[in-house]
Amino acid sequence: MARRRPSTTPQHEGPDAARLPMTEVPLPGVDPVWSRTVTVASTAPVEPVPGRRRRWHLLDNAASLEAAGLSPRGTVLAVHGNPTWSYLWRDVLAAGVDPANPWRVVAVDQLDMGFSERTGLFRRLDDRVRDLADLTAELGLDDATTPVVTLAHDWGGLISSGWALEHPDVHRGVVLTNTAVHHDGAEEIPASLRLALAPAAHGLLTERTTAFLDVALALANPSLPADVRAAYRAPYATRARREAIRHFVADIPVPADHPSHARFEQIAAGVAGMDVPALLLWGIGDPVFQERYLQDLMRRLPHADVHRYEGAQHLLPEARDIAGPVMAWLADRFGPGPTRRELHVQRRATARGAHVPFHAELEQRRADLGLAVVDMAPGAEATGPRATTAPVRASLSWAELADRVDRLAAGLTGIGVRPGDRVNLMVPPGSDLTALLYACLRVGAVVVVADTGLGPKGLTRALKGAGPDWLVGIRKALVAGRALGWPGTRISLERLDPVSRRVLGVAHDVPGLLESAPRPDLPAPGPEADAVVLFTSGSTGPAKGVVYTHRQLSAMRDAVRGTYGLSAGTGLVAGFAPFALLGPAMGTTSVTPDMDVTAPKTLTARALADAASAIRATAVFLSPAAITNVLATAHELDEGQRLALGRVELVLSAGAPLPEALLERFQELVPAATLHTPYGMTEGLPLTDVTLGTIRQARRDGTVAGGSPVAGAGNGVCVGTAVHGAELGVTALGPDGVPGDEITTAAGTTGEIVARAPHVKDRYDRLWATEHRSTQLPGWHRTGDVGHVDAAGRLWVEGRLAHVIVTAGGVRTPVAAEHAAQTVPGVGRVAVVGVGPAGAQVPVAVAETVPPAPRPGPADPLLTGAVREAVREATGMDLAAVLVLPEHPTDIRHNSKIDRALLAGWADAALAGGRIRNP
């Protein structure tokens, strides 16, 4: 889990920590020159004497900017909520003193809060908006020549929004973190606030004790250090100094008869009209300002950039580095030159080639009675000109598929699905899913694809992040959605009895949609409209949503079809879920094998052969895990099934690097096939292509007589050359393992792989900071993979950037060492991980054995020696240890990507002594 980045200023730990004149408590991360007080004439309605001067405390980095000779581009007006104070923004204050991107940051202590004056008055929402206006006028921030960007948390979001609406001439942007500007009266406020408002508990929790303060400070993940907690407590040491905490809670303006309700509604309506740049940063685990409040803000600010921080709670600025993203966003929106968004629009405008709609093949084959989609399973036999006696569950001809898509499109429109609506399809791959997908794309709905292989927790996280408006699912999915709180109006794949329909909250069903008459008047979505949100496997953190436009989705189809010659007449076995959906768009007859597509290792050799036989398939797409299990069950094949596999001419496998030895074994099952292992990812597939023959040639090119490696070749897995339309390069790794910004294709330079192509993603969904990092090189996507290009222009993948091992002797990558270890008899999958602190890590191999080791722990001396020797001979790497496990922890979607982060932590603990457990 990501932890908060250390402050960019000295932490002043211990007795030498910064102390402000008004406190003896050390304040880690605060530069004393930031602290200042200013007296301001108050015009707030609550004041009994208009113009009464009140003393404010601020943290203001203006003195630091002046000392550095920097002229700020604008001012960030940072407003805290309840019960924090300006200390919340110390990292943003420090980050603003950047010669490349200087910003003045004024972080206020609201009156009666922090170290500002205790007025003894009950200041309500309108008073606090007026207070802030009085302050900015005193500070000269109302000067129209100085742009102001508001930054707020908690109730500071509502107050700063009220100020912004009254200062349109200077307000140029808004950044909001875990706040709310409106509450739907149909829902209760969060339980913690209901408790704090209860008459019997209100004063006790908020003022007479520190309970409310304590709970707020506990809403940080990871937990706050003791000195930081003490800093937050410093202004609230006595009951008198906590009075405003009680007032803030009492001023929650939810009931319609509340004194602040009208102002609350006025500000909420005004926010919906804001057209300034906006950034929403959200800790998704917040039990107070829950995700529903983020969704509300996204509806009011549809143009906003969004980043959701999984695992972070209420005190987001303490849990994650937000100073970096805030300053990067300010540079992007207000720095010199075109913004990232403008560059993105330019890239879209210059996309190569004419746009042929994704579903164009269906339009052209409306009268074709040949099979389009086949679902394999024990049951009735297929019918049609291409059918055999292999058992199938269902099939659709091209004519039937086109008609079903038309009727579903009309039905979806009839129940209120509109262009841009998000539709979560929780339907297994096959003919039903294919028809629903093409119908959604036809009406301009955005399809959300997050398969069940993510697991209940990961799937729930993904779906709540994507925020679909509709959920179409089988009964099992509807039950899970009810239990786990998945969003979206429910549509059942099948008709349900009235009781089930009511219990599961089902509003519509697919059979009912199919009763609709086709509507030829439905407008086609534009090429730049969003088409799908696909989720990554989650093997290097929470699964990320990846958005493709219609143009990019069509470009993916064209890249696959053009690279592999897939066309009308091709029979495709789609054992990899995405290609079950791409097949009809390419004109291929697609068959889904009898397997759980979300668990690729469930595919058996017999199921693969039956699927190939059903349509006389000539092409097969599988994941590495599926290939492994097919080989493990190949002894079960009968003669007819072997003949069916013998007709296969093309095999594709993507998802993880495949060792050459495994491909050679699979070649024996499909002797007539050319084996391809395209390289790519959810963000762009395919990017390169390579055949088994090219891999063999690359290995020969990478050595000279005596077996010594040649510079620029061999260290990793050869994934071939770029597919048509794609460009690749690397940005060299520094000695600390961090990639630079210069793109090169020089042979032998190891770095992060970067790519661009018409079919690379449009953006990450609601992950602005992640998207910003991945597109730091405009027009290019940083893949997060590490590799190099050899002298023949072939790309070699050496591992993930997150898994690079930074040793005292330099940077090492793991893949070549892992494959070398796997050549040792009795060794299965291997992960080579770094143990120890970066810069002094040592490589450790963690291996599965055949047969599986009975318990985790150090390998026996004989195996350890053999693995070390194999790795040293192939790569020159000296392993510090060899450990064994019965089975590696893997991401549950692909079953082939080892969870190396978890494994590295386990190896570290195992080598430290004590009882060794499974990771």
Look over the chain and give the mean of its residue pLDDT values, rounded to a whole number: 90
pLDDT of the residue at 891: 54
Residues 644 and 750 reside in one and the same domain: no
pLDDT of the residue at 702: 62
**Model confidence band, residue 894 (pLDDT cutoffs 50, 70, 90):** very low
**Model confidence band, residue 23 (pLDDT cutoffs 50, 70, 90):** confident
Residue ending a domain, among 625, 650, 677, is: 677
**Model confidence band, residue 196 (pLDDT cutoffs 50, 70, 90):** confident
pLDDT tens-digit series, residues 232-256: 999 999 999 999 999 999 999 988 9
Give exposure, 55-87, as e/b (b: 16+ Cβ within 10 Å).
ebbbbbbbebbeeeebebbbbbbbbbbbbbbbb
pLDDT tens-digit series, residues 456-515: 898 999 999 999 999 999 999 999 999 999 999 999 999 999 999 999 999 999 999 999
624, part of any domain:
yes
Residues 375 and 266 reside in one and the same domain: no
847, part of any domain:
yes
**Model confidence band, residue 904 (pLDDT cutoffs 50, 70, 90):** confident
Pairing of the two strands 842-849 and 810-812: unpaired
Residues 84 and 149 reside in one and the same domain: yes
- The tokens for 193 are 């606030």
Residues 796 and 654 reside in one and the same domain: no
734, part of any domain:
yes
pLDDT tens-digit series, residues 577-610: 667 788 999 999 999 898 876 677 789 999 999 9
Residue 387 pLDDT > 50, yes or no?
no
CATH number assigned to the domain comprising residue 809: 3.30.300.30
**Model confidence band, residue 385 (pLDDT cutoffs 50, 70, 90):** very low
Model confidence, pTM: 0.90
CB 189 within 8 A of CB 349: no
pLDDT tens-digit series, residues 680-718: 999 998 999 999 999 888 877 764 333 334 334 458 888
pLDDT of the residue at 344: 74
593, part of any domain:
yes
For the chain, what percent of residues have pLDDT higher than 90? Answer: 74
CATH number assigned to the domain comprising residue 706: 2.30.38
Residues 587 and 702 reside in one and the same domain: no
Residues 326 and 392 reside in one and the same domain: no
Q: What share of the chain is helix, strand, coil (3-state, %, to 5)?
A: 35, 25, 40
pLDDT of the residue at 102: 97
Residues 45 and 153 reside in one and the same domain: yes
Least confidently predicted of 805-814, 856-865, 883-892, 905-914: 883-892
777, part of any domain:
no
Question: What amino acid occupies position 768?
Answer: W
Residue ending a domain, among 748, 774, 801, is: 801
**Model confidence band, residue 381 (pLDDT cutoffs 50, 70, 90):** very low
Give exposure, 355-382, as e/b (b: 16+ Cβ within 10 Å).
bebbbebbeebeebeebbbbbbbeeeeb
pLDDT of the residue at 378: 59
Residue 40 pLDDT > 60, yes or no?
yes
pLDDT of the residue at 7: 41
Residues 744 and 831 reside in one and the same domain: no
Measured torsion, CA atoms of residues 895, 897, 898, 904, in degrees rounded to the nearest 10 = -150
- The tokens for 662 are 């495994």
Residue ending a domain, among 736, 768, 801, is: 801
What's the domain count of the chain? 4
pLDDT tens-digit series, residues 640-694: 999 999 999 999 998 776 778 889 999 999 999 999 999 999 999 899 999 999 9
Query: What is the mean predicted confidence (pLDDT) over 797-820?
Result: 92
826, part of any domain:
yes
Least confidently predicted of 43-52, 571-580, 739-748: 571-580
Residues 545 and 644 reside in one and the same domain: yes
Using the structure block, give the residue that is written with the tokens 């929403």: 280
**Model confidence band, residue 404 (pLDDT cutoffs 50, 70, 90):** very high
Residue 421 pLDDT > 80, yes or no?
yes
pLDDT of the residue at 8: 40
For the chain, what percent of residues have pLDDT higher than 70? Answer: 92
Residue 901 pLDDT > 90, yes or no?
no
pLDDT tens-digit series, residues 54-109: 999 999 999 999 999 999 999 999 999 999 999 999 999 999 999 999 999 999 99
Q: Which residue has the higher pLDDT, 345 or 724?
A: 724
Q: Which residue has the higher pLDDT, 862 or 4?
A: 862
Residues 658 and 702 reside in one and the same domain: no
CATH number assigned to the domain comprising residue 200: 3.40.50.1820
| H or E element in which residue 730 lies | strand 727-733
CATH number assigned to the domain comprising residue 625: 3.40.50.12780
770, part of any domain:
no
- The tokens for 93 are 């204050």
pLDDT of the residue at 766: 96
Q: What is the distance between the alpha carbons of residues 588 and 622, in angstroms, rounded to a whole number?
A: 16
Range of the domain at 699: 694-758+782-801
Least confidently predicted of 11-20, 356-365, 824-833: 11-20
Residues 128 and 252 reside in one and the same domain: yes
Residues 296 and 318 reside in one and the same domain: yes
542, part of any domain:
yes
Q: Could you count the other beta carbons within 10 Å of the beta carbon of residue 341?
A: 13
